[in-house]
Amino acid sequence: MAGRPRSYGSLIAALALVVLVLHGLVLAWLSSQWVELSVLRPLATPLFTRSLTPSTAPRSKPPLGTAPRARRGVAPVADATAQVPEQEPAPQMVAAAQVTPDVEPAPTLEPLPQAVPQADTPMPAQAQTPATASADNWPANTRLSYSASGFYRGRLWGDAQVLWQREGERYQVQLKISFGWLAHLYMTSQGQITPTLLLPEVFEEETTTARRHLRFTPEEAVLMNGSRLPRPQGVQDSASQFVDLSHRFATAPSPLAVGQSVQFWLARPGGADLWTYDVVETETLETPRLGALQTFHLKPRPLANPRGPITAEMWFAPALQYLPVRIKVTLSDEAWVDLLVDKIEQSDPTPPVASSPTQ
């Protein structure tokens, strides 16, 4: 009997030690989460004052099917409507901009190399924006709402949105896909606006099970594991690419046409790859609220050494400021997500505001 108080005391001490260890683990986890959350400086959601439709959207280019005027020394672009199908083809499960593989191999770029591309790999072309363009020709705050369907061990239904915001010469792009409590994918890009392209500074992606980020400096891209690589010219991330491509197409000196291609570096938390998108066809999409939309369908070329199976295709509508009205993401041979635009809202244009210097 005399030994019981000591055994109880030992038990209580052991339990106290376990509680302290658990508290330490929880605090460490919360601390790591706080560090990841502090990577972003979210902008307040803007006030949207109007809905965008094909009849109200200003056109910076001739409508799809209008032959461009020939210029001296420049061959005219072929009429893109020659390949417009009679009806929408059956959905295809293909893809293009990497999103979030559950497991991504560690990048092979260890110490800082002298150049990212190999000697025989061309650098991505800059956005072909007229010399008179300025940073003010980017769209006003815009929110694209999508209906989302998908498949993963059965059919899935949800919603999604792409939200574009700018304050002076700074921007934020968010892509949110949600299937209720089953799964979600959020991606956010923040950085600076130039007349010709976006300059990402930080990218963060969050899935149901993980959160990862990527940082950019003027000279480097800092990966999730701390590895650094030279910042490729014109590099975009998985969120900024949608708005950057829209602006590129809307401000190009020649209309987009089937047979053309666009090439740029795409960086994610695990590395950077040079992507080439081919304009494979024009396609008419039937949408619930916006009616029939003529679009350009972009597909990626396969990568020689892909980092994962996840890619996406994109459809851009000339009559809606070349915004991406459909995005299809393929996660694997048996899993995919398809976003179709439902509504587009914009804020009234505001005079440019001088941005504060970054910290």
Per-residue pLDDT reduced to its tens digit, 314-357: 999 999 999 999 999 887 878 899 999 999 999 987 655 444 44
Residue 121 scores a pLDDT above 90: no
Question: What is the rounded distance in angstroms from the CA atom of residue 135 to the CA atom of residue 242?
Answer: 17
| Rounded to 5°, angle at Cα 349 from 343 and 353 | 130
Over residues 62-87, the mean pLDDT reads: 38
Question: What is the rounded distance in angstroms from the CA atom of residue 300 to the CA atom of residue 264?
Answer: 11
Tell which residue, 188, 165, 156, has the closest CA to residue 175: 188
- Name which residue leads in pLDDT, 12 or 226: 226
The mean of the pLDDT values for the chain is 75
Residue 234 scores a pLDDT above 50: yes
CATH fold, domain 93-103+124-346, is outer membrane lipoprotein receptor (LolB), chain A (2.50.20)
The string of pLDDT tens digits covering residues 2-33 is 555 556 667 766 666 666 656 656 555 544 44
- Name which residue leads in pLDDT, 109 or 147: 147
- Name which residue leads in pLDDT, 215 or 98: 215
Half-sphere exposure of 75 (CA within 13 A, CB side): 3
Over residues 168-184, the mean pLDDT reads: 91
The string of pLDDT tens digits covering residues 278-308 is 999 999 999 999 999 999 999 999 888 777 6
| Rounded to 5°, angle at Cα 294 from 247 and 93 | 85
The residues, any chain, with a CB within 8 Å of residue 27's CB and separated by 6 or more, are: none
